[in-house]
Chain A
Amino acid sequence: MDKKNTPKLPTFEKSAKSYLDNTQLRRNIGHATQTIRGKRAHVVHELPDWEELREAGSRIKAEVMNNLDKYLLQLEASVQKAGGTVHWAADGDEANRIITNLIKEKGETEVVKVKSITTDEIRLNDALKQEGITALETDLAELIIQLAGDEPSHILVPAIHKNRSEIRDLFRKKLNIEELSDEPAHLAEAARLYLRKNFLKAKVGISGGNFAVAETGTVAVVESEGNGRMCTTLPETLISILGIEKIIPRWQDFEVFMQLLPRSSTAERMNPYNTFWTGTSPGDGPQEFHLVLLDNGRTNVLADETGRQTLHCIRCSACLNVCPVYERTGGHAYHSVYPGPIGAILTPQLRSPNDESAASLPYASTLCGACYEVCPVKINIPEVLVHLRGKVVNHQKKTGGIKQKTNPTHIGMKIMASAFRSRKKYERLQKMGRIGQKLFVKDGTISRLPGELSNWTAIRDLKPVPDQTFREWWRERS
């Protein structure tokens, strides 16, 4: 993921500020997230066994992670048995090379693509472009992003930050359509006509996948528009790339995940189309199927016992829609293809600990826990956020040199930690505080502290040490 030529990305704190100033963006995102939150709650409450399904989903994914090497081998064998070919990619560059070579072997310079965040993660389209191959995005939102030269800002609805008139202007310009209203139905019709001819002539299709079944080799694509069906059915060759965490053990497990995903994601009982294919089928669909299994940092996530649950994610995006931070900043402030709460824990684990932008993400949260509550596979996002904050601080201390060693926050925290460990020290510190605070207490609160400590009080009031603490009162009483 970390390309040498990638420019240094700003931290979340820095970019959040500028996105907060964009009122159009805040309106677009606020409206969209609010709409989908309500719809989701409705369809989730409809299922009496939602909690049992969440628990099962969580356990199945934990089972996969604890046996990942075995399930990977089983998946490979199943896909091969069903007529497919399996490729292994340790990082994004290798995956891009594998896919480029497969397309070149077919002598093609144009391919059609289904929306896949994994391919965004490894910047596949750029890699293909450098080799003279055009990858046409066929999901409506991804097409909008591609035509605008923009970056996605939401997992499910990548163009959530654009409203209808912005999209109409874009289509008028890029698709050369003079007469076009901003009605969503007309905009979708324009995209349909533009893409249909490409679907018919494409020889190679590229897709991601929502699930891969170890036991049978079946790969699933869950979608709404039908572009997924087009790309996985019409071309002669299909190349699908999946992160190694996308495995589920058995076909039966779909009874859990296909109930959890649509309701959490698009807030529907079921999304319009699900396609499940097992290798190749004579006379039906692509006669050549390649599955690329991608690591690209995922095994680092696996190695962290607290962080491991991040890999349970089924990319539903429910956590984005309920997050008070995401709702206000939008997805771009996260500078990752994985925005929102899940991105705040996934991105830093996938990237190097020296990546300052990624290291700022665990702080992009109020720890309110709404994300954990809606997560269909029960990823304890607040727990991982706090855990990662600890890792960030430890890494800074280890690599930051003298500047970090004399960082007042770290020194302050160290004093606090030692004080909280012993009653004597704690009470002594309280007494000192009672004397020291005298100058700053006004109307029963401390709203301004001097020097470095002013950072704390700049955004919150501090409660002073009381004249008599509970412990003192208790001792006096007995």
Chain B
Amino acid sequence: MSDSKETILNRVKRALGREDDNKTTTFKSADINRNYQQKSELNSEEILQQFAERVSEYRAVTEQISESELAEKVVQICKNEGVEKLVIPPGIETGWTKGLSGSVTILRDEPKPLSKEELNASDAILTGCFLGVAQTGTIVLNAGPGQGRRALTLLPDFHICVVKQKQIVGIFPEAVRSLEETVRESARPVTMISGPSATSDIELNRVEGVHGPRKLHVLIVS
């Protein structure tokens, strides 16, 4: 045991008035009343609408489309935004990119991972997600299939994210509970995204786009 570890632990014990207590497994039981909302009271259609609304309020672009429109939509966005180099994470559904032709170069993160420089020089990243949270307009990534490692959604300046209706939960506690497995079992990193990168550091004026992707386009598939 390092000296400072012992010092700090002894100070803590002294501060709590239990120097003699060496049972390190028993905790003073806590009386925490979790009587706050655990689940949204909205129905699934309301949840969908709230998600779309609140994501838009962060000045992200949102569109509600059907599964069959998705491939064409991706082509159209790339064309409108002038995307020439599109990054694709491992495990993405093949149907999403099937419409893309020669004008868009697809950069894959496998088998060899893309370098930071390659990512920085790309135009956009297309991903799915783990969850959406309607109450806060948040997209949750857990490095699962179709999402990739964290740098992929960070360095490109434009993030196109596909969220399926069944992935959208009502309120934040529902999302936290769904993530238990990610964190406990696989210890994978979790990233929560609520709108594009922003700062309010200058006179508390909100400015979109500092270091993360400056543009976020969310395709809600129902």
A interface residue numbers (CB < 8 A to B) = 28, 31-32, 35-36, 48-49, 52-53, 55-56, 59-60, 62-63, 66-70, 72-73, 82, 87-90, 94, 138-141, 144, 157-160, 163-164, 167, 184-185, 187-189, 191-192, 195-196, 199-200, 213, 216-218, 224-227, 229-230, 233-234, 244, 249, 251-252, 254-256, 258-259, 266, 268-279, 281, 283-285, 293, 295, 299-300, 302-303
Contacts and interface: CB of A to CB of B under 8 A. Distances in A.
B51 to A, nearest CB: 12
A234 B136 CA distance: 27
Given A66-B28, A227-B210, A272-B194, A284 B149 contact: yes
B204 to A, nearest CB: 5
19 contacts: A56-B32, A59-B31, A63-B27, A69-B13, A139-B201, A159-B202, A184-B199, A185-B207, A224-B197, A226-B197, A229-B150, A275-B189, A278-B188, A278-B189, A283-B113, A284-B188, A285-B189, A302-B16, A303-B15
A244 B16 contact: no
B66 interface: no
Contacts of A277: 189-190
Contacts of B150: 229, 233, 275, 284-285
Interface of B: 2, 4-5, 7-9, 11-16, 24-25, 27-28, 30-37, 54, 58, 113, 116-117, 120, 133, 135-138, 143, 149-151, 154, 172-173, 176-177, 179-180, 183-184, 187-205, 207-213
Contact of B210 (A52, A191, A254, A283): A191
A218 B187 CA distance: 8
A187 B196 CA distance: 17
Given A140-B201, A159-B201, A188 B13 contact: no
A7 B2 CA distance: 33
By Cβ-Cβ distance, the 9 closest A-B pairs, closest first, are A226-B212, A226-B211, A63-B30, A303-B15, A299-B11, A255-B173, A284-B149, A225-B210, A270-B136
Given A140-B199, A184-B207, A272-B194, 17 more contacts: A59-B31, A60-B32, A66-B30, A87-B2, A139-B201, A157-B201, A164-B203, A184-B199, A216-B184, A225-B201, A225-B210, A226-B212, A226-B213, A233-B154, A234-B151, A251-B183, A251-B184
Nearest to B153: A229
B180 A72 contact: no
A52 B173 CA distance: 13
Contacts of B151: 233-234, 284-285
B4 A218 contact: no
A272 B187 contact: no
Contacts of B133: 270
Contacts of A73: 9, 24
Nearest to B184: A216
Nearest to A303: B15
B149 A270 contact: no
Nearest to B21: A69
Contacts of B13: 69
B192 A274 contact: yes
A246 to B, nearest CB: 14
B211 A227 contact: yes
Contacts of B9: 69, 72-73
B36 A283 contact: no
Nearest to A76: B5
Nearest to B197: A226
B29 to A, nearest CB: 9
A338 B14 CA distance: 26
Contact of B11 (A67, A184, A233, A295): A295
Given A60-B30, A164-B203, A192 B15 contact: no
A56 B9 CA distance: 26
Contact of A258 (B176, B188, B200, B205): B176
B183 A218 contact: yes
Nearest to A213: B183
A255 B201 contact: no
A272 B204 contact: no
Contacts of B172: 255, 258-259, 270
A164 B199 CA distance: 14
B201 A192 contact: no
Contact of B33 (A59, A266, A293, A303): A59
A167 B16 contact: no
B10 to A, nearest CB: 9
B30 A216 contact: no
Contacts of B113: 283
A250 to B, nearest CB: 9
A279 B117 CA distance: 25
B154 to A, nearest CB: 5
Contacts of B180: 251-252
A199 B8 contact: no
A325 to B, nearest CB: 20
A252 B174 CA distance: 10
B197 to A, nearest CB: 4
B120 A167 contact: no
A200 B117 contact: yes
A249 B27 CA distance: 11
The residue in A63, A69, A164, A244 that gathers the most chain B C-beta atoms within 10 A of its C-beta is A69
Contacts of B117: 200
Contacts of A32: 203-204
B210 A55 contact: no
Contacts of B2: 87-88
Contact of B204 (A157, A225, A269): A157
Nearest to B30: A63
B130 to A, nearest CB: 12
B149 to A, nearest CB: 4
B52 to A, nearest CB: 14
